[in-house]
Structure 1
């Protein structure tokens, strides 16, 4: 039997599509438990947002390995990515801040540092930006109420920059995550 490949799943400080993403990742854990070991890396802001959405306990009980950012090198995800210890890095959901930093090559957080290192080492990187395209979106707040947001041209431009970077794939919806897992499972 082949050894399980590790997957790094990064969660940033966005509530947009967070609930759906956690649900899909639980499905991926169940469906691909023989092929992949999903490791969860949570940004400082992601930790706050998970608490707002009452999802912290879910992650801790459903995923064996979860870490919260201390700084850009702790836990040392970038080093593990550099050494090829992960089949891919998935950042979902990714805030406009995280997307902008990666597109501008600013590696000052756990997940931006890991993503940029992944690009440098040709580790497949999958990013689900919450601010995917310019326009008005409606998101759900933790209390269930709707909030209307305006996605700016600048935010959309950072997504476009990411989409043409080597080893980088951007996608819009959590339901696309299953295709990513299927693709990598077929490569085993």
Structure 2
């Protein structure tokens, strides 16, 4: 998600483009826990077609997804696209803000670029959000990360704190507060891309009007090539 933010910051700097950010409910939660949500105003500062559109504020019909018929958008970029979102787009399911916007963009002839989180079947690395390493945590009676958390995102389980990620806002104050370094952010772990997820990516890539990319850095390359940015 941060890689995508950096790409759009560069696009705005180079080409002075206006950006609307569409966030699903899940996307908003993840953006908050990874510390990206509070930075979205740097690419979508507000104003005409430059706002952050949140699914939780859009009702059941997602009316702002209908904007693609207005002819105001040069492209619709879904990045990062989870395996769940990819599967829904590939099979025509429109029950979230993002999948509905995807369908509206296709219907309106707006080019779509998708950057899946799960591209090829096999082993990949991913970055974990903030968590408490319970093998390191001593279960201090006075836990500084717990005390200093501005959103009371820590709860005690069996005498040691854990992070409620749905309350975490990605400020990372807790990471620096623990003297034993038991609060961790950014740990890389290995996981696997399922065959079904890779197959859905392939199915999506075969749809008219859709280009599937492997990395957010490719967004600028293809916008230049396809749209003359």
- TM-score, normalised with respect to structure 2: 0.69
**Deviation string, structure 1 residues 9-45 (Cα, Å, up to 9, x no partner):** xxxxxxxxx1111111111111111xx2111111111
> Who is 1:40 aligned against?
21
Correspondent of 2:37 among 56, 60, 64? 56
CA distance in 1, matches of 2:43, 2:106: 29
Correspondent of 2:94 among 95, 107, 110? 107
Correspondent of 2:54 among 38, 47, 68? 68
Look up the SS of the partner of 2:93 in the other structure: coil
Q: List runs of 5+ in structure 1 lacking aligned partners.
A: 1-17
The structure with the largest alpha-carbon Rg is 2
1:62 CA drift (Å): 4.1
> Who is 2:9 aligned against?
26
Look up the SS of the partner of 2:18 in the other structure: strand
CA distance in 2, matches of 1:138, 1:66: 29
- TM-score, normalised with respect to structure 1: 0.83
Q: Does 1:92 align with 2:76?
A: no
Q: Does 1:162 align with 2:162?
A: no
* CA-atom RMSD in angstroms: 1.6
The structure where strand makes up a greater share of residues is 1
Count of aligned pairs between the two proteins: 167
Q: Is the 8 Å Cα contact of residues 72 and 107 (structure 1) preserved in structure 2?
A: no
> Who is 1:144 aligned against?
186
**Deviation string, structure 1 residues 76-96 (Cα, Å, up to 9, x no partner):** 233111332211100000000
Q: List runs of 5+ in structure 2 lacking aligned partners.
A: 46-50, 130-184
CA distance in 1, matches of 2:222, 2:65: 21
> Who is 1:4 aligned against?
none
1:61 CA drift (Å): 4.0
1:51 CA drift (Å): 0.8
Look up the SS of the partner of 1:86 in the other structure: coil
Range 147-156 or range 173-182, more displaced: 173-182
